[in-house]
Amino acid sequence: MIGYYPAAQIRAAEEATGPLLTGGVLMARAAAGVARVALSELRERCGGVYGRRVGLVVGAGNNGGDALYAGARLARSGAAVQAVLPAPDAAHPGGLAAFRAAGGRVVPTLSPDTDLVIDAVVGLGGHGPLRPAAADAFAAVPGVPVLAVDLPSGIDPDTGQVHDPSVTATVSVTFGARRLAHLLAAPRCGRIEVIDIGLAEGESSTLGEPAVASLTDAEVAALWPLPGPADDKYTQGVAGIVAGSEQYPGAAVLCTGGSIAATSGMTRFVGGAAAVVVGHRPEVVAVHRIADAGTVQAWVVGPGLGTGAHAEHLVEHVLAADVPALVDADGLTVLARRPDLLAGRTAPTLLTPHAGEYARLAGHPVGPDRLAAVRELAAELGVTVLLKGRITLVADPDGTVLGNDAGSSWAATAGAGDVLSGMAGALLAAGLPPRPAGAAAARVHARAALLAEHGGPPGPGGAPIGASDLVAAVPQAIRELEGLGQ
């Protein structure tokens, strides 16, 4: 897994290194890492280093010191390095001396023909937007690639809240381990480069357990329940879908499609759209009444269901059954007025709200701290909660969280959530616990959106997609992840 850590945990790990911190060893290692990544960026983007212009925007403290020592290394490598100091009296004295000694120049503003900007205004201690002087320094070089030291300035390290103004980085160079903001504000952080400065994760780590983790592609592949030689449709998992209506059959078609594509052994469907569902997916076992559905190993209830008395009856029936259940969309609106339906439930339960549905369930908006929000709701309701978004967060009631960065917003299209529900429901039916089921489904869902967007492997370009395109791409996304996991 890939771990993400809060600022206090990173600071404690640094302090635990003792003389490595106080003697400047950690800073020297950090500066060397920043310089190494900067040199690589210049070679890749500009074809070389000599004579290329690098601009530093440097704040106070160790973050600024890292950049100044890195700037000295870049200057000795042949780059023309300039630094803007929004608060010159607070600049790291040793770093500034080394920077000047290597030929670096302190300037009032960066040259518009700068090739690379290094953002070192604030690090882990940063909160709130850029101050005017720093904002002006970045405004002077619009469109220039930015390398952020630790994380982009103007983004809170623990919540990922993006303030205005703030920096958008091409690459963020961080030390020892990823910060929470690298996941929670991933679109603003760019590529993440982790430099080992002596806080390495593992048995000898001073970091401890991460606050949030993401599954790797190999871990998702290992979790995915592909059928083996001894499997049949029952051991592979029977998912029951209660969704859609005669008036709105689309959610039913998409949700069952997601279940089938995610390799459920059998998908049963209950609802008024039974004929439409079978017309699209003849392998679905479809009935109109839930009493006729037969045995299932997990239920999905809610997409396109409506919110009236009949929908409430169906949600109540599903949650009364002693099998895993996923509640989405209209089912969540029912739960918002009938949270008692979860009382006493012991079978695994996964709720999958978007921000609006979260507000109905919790009684307040998500707010800027999405991590705290998803933990709060999971603990309050005693179930696993998957908070949808570009960054998906899946929290158990004990506060354990898995996150996933979709890498794009192509899945932000009508019906995509119905597909995700069907996929996660298939994984629940196969026996996965709710948290890994939600996280794994989100990863494959995101990859399928990229494949559907490009009509091939992820890469530049692409065109708008619909949720049906996403369903069609799910099997290829699974095949690709399985290949990566081997």
CATH code (residue 136): 3.40.50.10260
- Do 345 and 419 reside in the same domain of the chain? yes
The verdict on whether residue 418 carries a ligand-binding annotation is yes
Distances (CA, A) of 177 to 4, 6, 18, 390, 479: 7, 10, 18, 22, 30
The verdict on whether residue 251 carries a ligand-binding annotation is yes
The verdict on whether residue 196 carries a ligand-binding annotation is no
- Do 209 and 251 reside in the same domain of the chain? no
Domain boundary, last residue among 153, 180, 213 = 213
Can you give the pLDDT at residue 208?
A: 84
Can you give the pLDDT at residue 181?
A: 97
- Do 207 and 222 reside in the same domain of the chain? no
- Do 277 and 200 reside in the same domain of the chain? no
At 39-91, the pLDDT tens digits run 999 999 999 999 999 999 999 889 999 999 999 999 999 999 999 999 988 89
The verdict on whether residue 62 carries a ligand-binding annotation is yes
The verdict on whether residue 204 carries a ligand-binding annotation is no
**C-alpha of 394 from chain center:** 10
Tokens standing for residue 380: 């309050």
Q: Which domain holds residue 398?
A: 217-485
The verdict on whether residue 127 carries a ligand-binding annotation is yes
Q: What is the dihedral of CA 337, 342, 344, 345, to 10 degrees?
A: 160
- Do 233 and 201 reside in the same domain of the chain? no
Amino acid letter, residue 265: G
Domain boundary, last residue among 213, 228, 261 = 213
The verdict on whether residue 129 carries a ligand-binding annotation is yes
In the chain, the percentage of residues whose pLDDT exceeds 70 is 95
Can you give the pLDDT at residue 7?
A: 94
The verdict on whether residue 128 carries a ligand-binding annotation is yes
- Do 131 and 222 reside in the same domain of the chain? no
The verdict on whether residue 125 carries a ligand-binding annotation is yes
pLDDT at 296 over 70: yes
CA distance 137 to 58: 10
Mean pLDDT computed over 342-364: 97
Can you give the pLDDT at residue 91?
A: 93
Mean pLDDT computed over 246-259: 94
Q: Please tell me the least confidently modeled range out of 321-330, 355-364, 407-416.
A: 407-416
pLDDT at 460 over 50: no
The verdict on whether residue 354 carries a ligand-binding annotation is yes
- Do 167 and 262 reside in the same domain of the chain? no
The verdict on whether residue 400 carries a ligand-binding annotation is no
Residue 393 DSSP class: E
- Do 335 and 476 reside in the same domain of the chain? yes
- Do 206 and 230 reside in the same domain of the chain? no
Total Cβ atoms within 10 A of residue 142: 7
pLDDT band of 203, cuts 50, 70, 90: very low
The verdict on whether residue 123 carries a ligand-binding annotation is yes
Looking at the 3D structure of the chain, how many domains does it have? 2
Mean pLDDT computed over 3-16: 93
pLDDT at 458 over 60: no
pLDDT at 486 over 60: no
- Do 79 and 60 reside in the same domain of the chain? yes
CATH number for the domain that contains residue 356: 3.40.1190.20
Domain boundary, last residue among 213, 236, 270 = 213
In 344-460, which residue ranges form alpha helices assigned H by DSSP?
355-362, 370-381, 416-429, 434-454
Can you give the pLDDT at residue 227?
A: 82
- Do 221 and 209 reside in the same domain of the chain? no
The verdict on whether residue 304 carries a ligand-binding annotation is yes
Can you give the pLDDT at residue 234?
A: 82
Mean pLDDT computed over 98-106: 97
At 298-329, the pLDDT tens digits run 999 999 999 999 999 999 999 999 999 999 99
- Do 191 and 257 reside in the same domain of the chain? no
CA distance 308 to 28: 64
Can you give the pLDDT at residue 65?
A: 96
pLDDT band of 345, cuts 50, 70, 90: very high
pLDDT at 204 over 80: no
